[in-house]
A and B are shown apart, each in its own frame.
Chain A
Amino acid sequence: MEALFQATPFTGYVFPNETDIPWSLMIVIYPYITGLVAGAFTVATFYHVFGVTRFKPVARFALLTSLSFMIFVPVPLLLHLGHPERALNVMLTPHLTSAFAAFGFFAAFYVILVTLEIWFSYREDIVAWAQEGKGLRGRFYRALTLGSYEISATTRSYDAKWIKALAIVGIAGAHGLHGYVGFVFGSLKSREWWGSDLMPAIFLVSAIVSGISILIVLYLLISRFRQTPIDKTCLKGLAYMLWGFLIFAMVLEFLEFANIVYKGREGVETIMALVAGPIWFSVWVLQVGGSVAAFIILTYVIWRGTQDRQLIIGVLVSAVLMLIAVLAMRWNVVIGGQELSKTMHGLLYFYPPVLGREGLLATIIVFALPFGMLWVLTKLLPPWLPDPRHA
């Protein structure tokens, strides 16, 4: 029995059963990945719905990113379950009062929606690839056309209409999906650190921040590898967007914490001990420090109208900082919430195991999988616009 769980050390008084921490690394990575899905989709909708044409260079890539991560969202959940083979029961016999019962439906709906959205936005290219492709590759694209090769003004306007309609539904879908992940935590009255009305909004806005950040990082890295020029207008647009949502996220998170401190309900001293103790580094250095540093860098870049290399480095560093900060925020919520005892008179000190089904190694592998998927998808469905140098 020894190897099956690790008794978590504690200070003060915690309930005995609390020393077996229920949710560990897989549940940290789960909302993180879901957040990247929602954030990447948001960037695509800025182009498809709100007509922000400067995002055109990354719009299709954003959709592929969103789908790649979404496909792997269930993986950490399945690894966490005691009986993964019974997971489908959540969809077959959903218990409707559970905040988690709708997850399967939400996720399946979203995957179908993004797949359709991608199909419509690639339709013209798919037809072209199907006509010029040979062998297995040609057959793949011919299958993807679903038998329709017609490209005309009518089909173009029809495709555009669908793209827009799906994106509008997708805004609700992607944001609903992630706001709902926040609700899974925020709706629990048993945990003081989670049970907050602001939790879904904080999850959502920080998700958008992380999604924009991962697009920035991937776009810059891929442009370097492909040796293609970076679209500065697009990059600046992403920087503006990151800056705006970052401010929004920081304000919400500050309000949340200020509320807890100001209300000063029973056990508030234990909450203060939590942020000064087990999660001090991930709260004050990674989450707050990272966010503030990114905010300062972005403000400087935007205010000074920085160009070229400085712009790229500034935005890249901010994006990386925010990716770390949002991951830290997930840790602080999921792990921090469980390190604060339900007694409100004790703290637990969780150290993640390296090996095992929910260990550090497994988590890193799970997080790497969507990138592999994204690489395959960009090979099958190249999302990039024609290089202006060769056009």
Chain B
Amino acid sequence: MKWRISEHQPGRRRFMRLLGRAIVFAGAALVSVGLMGRRGLAAAIPPLSETGYDWTKHRWGFGVDATRCIGCLRCVEACKIENGVAQDASHFRTWVERYVYLKGERKPLVDSQHDPGNIAASGSEKTYRFDNRYLDANIDKAFFVPKLCNQCEHPPCVQVCPVGATFRTPDGVVLIDHDYCIGCQYCVQACPYGVRLFNHEFGVTDKCTWCYHRIVRGLQPACVVACPVDARIFGDQNDPQSPISKFIRENRTRVLKPEMGTSPNVFYVGLDKEVM
């Protein structure tokens, strides 16, 4: 199955865009073939069988430094493009929450990309930004918290799947076999973090995979690459020199909802007690 979601665009504009892409692609192909001979694009994205990837040799981990996040949402947009996630405000593999404590208030105000104010500010559900609602407010404390799949050691979503279509790989990522999923959404219910989503076009559930197709080829997840402030840290926990091992070693980290007994693998720095 082709795993991409195409936007519906008006015929002529779509044709022009496709034509444009074709010209650019053809040009790029000519140039790269000319520059690199036989290697070209194929070398940049080798097929998995040729990488010699051994999933028993890795244990992937993810870190989030909430103190660094600026809420620019480049990660959200990168993720949507990289993984073909529905271009709307109800389906996210990763999203960013904004926590704001106004002066004198003990509870934070929280909003994210599905907030009507933020949708209005970005102009559509296909682009993402935080609005300026707090421009004139008297703020005590404010911060952003990026969210994504925690790839739990004990994933409740895997536990409840009636057909075993979702599973945890030996290198520690929870994946879905989209050709086997029956689309019952029991896993969506079971996830305490709300990271699972339903793909209405293909009738199956979907989730963040830490860009599994990229990491097994030695690349970083799209959101990590897109982050301009290094708020997202990714690496192999088996390698003591990897960014994630250093991040966990050098910081006091915590995980989300530890009381659920899920043993998450996304480690946070800079969370406040109200973060859910």
Contact = CB atoms under 8 A, between A and B. Distances in A.
- The answer on A and B forming one complex is yes
Contacts of A19: 89-90, 114
Contacts of B147: 15
A13 interface: yes
B192 interface: yes
A338 B78 CA distance: 29
Given A23-B189, A93-B164, A94-B162, A13 B111 contact: yes
Interface in A321-379: 338, 342-345
Interface residues of B, number: 52
A147 interface: no
B186 A17 contact: no
B192 A100 contact: no
Nearest to A96: B164
A23 B196 CA distance: 14
Given A16-B113, A190-B190, A4 B201 contact: yes
A22 interface: yes
A97 B159 contact: yes
Given A1-B200, A83-B183, A101-B162, A16 B188 contact: no
B162 A95 contact: yes
A15 B160 CA distance: 21
A98 B166 CA distance: 11
Contact of B182 (A15, A18, A23, A86): A86
A83 B194 contact: no
B198 interface: yes
B91 A20 contact: yes
Interface of chain A, main secondary structure:
loop
B163 A15 contact: no
Interface in B151-184: 156, 158-164, 180-184
From DSSP, what is the main secondary structure of chain B's interface residues? loop
A188 interface: yes
Interface residues of A, number: 44
Contact of B162 (A13, A17, A100, A190): A100
B260 A189 contact: yes
A103 interface: yes
Contact of A90 (B114, B162, B196, B205): B162
A184 B186 CA distance: 9
B188 A342 contact: no
B197 interface: yes
B164 A22 contact: no
B258 to A, nearest CB: 13
17 contacts: A5-B200, A13-B110, A15-B95, A15-B194, A16-B90, A17-B194, A19-B89, A19-B90, A22-B188, A22-B189, A77-B184, A82-B181, A82-B182, A97-B160, A98-B160, A188-B190, A189-B260
Interface of B: 5, 8, 86-92, 95, 97, 110-114, 147, 156, 158-164, 180-186, 188-198, 200-205, 260-261, 276
Interface of A: 1, 4-5, 7, 12-20, 22-23, 77, 80-84, 86-87, 89-90, 93-95, 97-101, 103, 184, 188-191, 338, 342-345
What 3 pairs across the A-B complex have the smallest Cβ distances?
A: A82-B183, A82-B203, A15-B194
